[in-house]
Amino acid sequence: MYDLSGKRVWVAGHRGMVGSGLVRALQDRSCDILTAPRAELDLLDQQAVRTWVQRERPQAIFLAAAKVGGILANASYPADFLYDNLMIETNIIEAAFRNDVEKLCFLGSSCIYPKLAPQPITEDSLLTGPLEPTNEWYAIAKIAGIKLAPAYRAQH
């Protein structure tokens, strides 16, 4: 178990539903919670993310940041959902690696599992069938991030 006591912990996506819940949960821990509002840090900008992580020196990162939307948004802007989410997670994971962040927790979503996955869903269901078409692009980006984190761990 990784102890957060005394650690600098960045919650990327702190204003979202999951990120704000993480911030509330972390307030009971003895850690320094770091946040970066969109006006301060563009997560799509690789250099800006690297510079921010280098300056702020988080020891742990909860990656809850993502471009999200409903069925209509996903259907109308598939490239944006795929590209933006790939950039956000790639920029943060790369910056974490480059700056020797001790722990990174990348948060997924139930939509990453096949549309017809057996219930209750188990982790080994990942990549065993077609995704729900209404959020496919978001799900593909999240799956890429889920695979990117252990790829960094394996290589580095």
Question: Which are the catalytic amino acids?
Answer: 138
DSSP class of residue 101 equals: -
| CA 136 – CA 75 distance, rounded (Å) | 9
Nearest CA to 152 among 83, 79, 99, 82? 99
Sheet with 103-106, side-by-side order of all strands:
32-34, 8-12, 60-63, 103-106
CA 46 → CA 37, 93, 132, 143, distances in Å? 16, 10, 30, 20
| CA 112 – CA 125 distance, rounded (Å) | 10
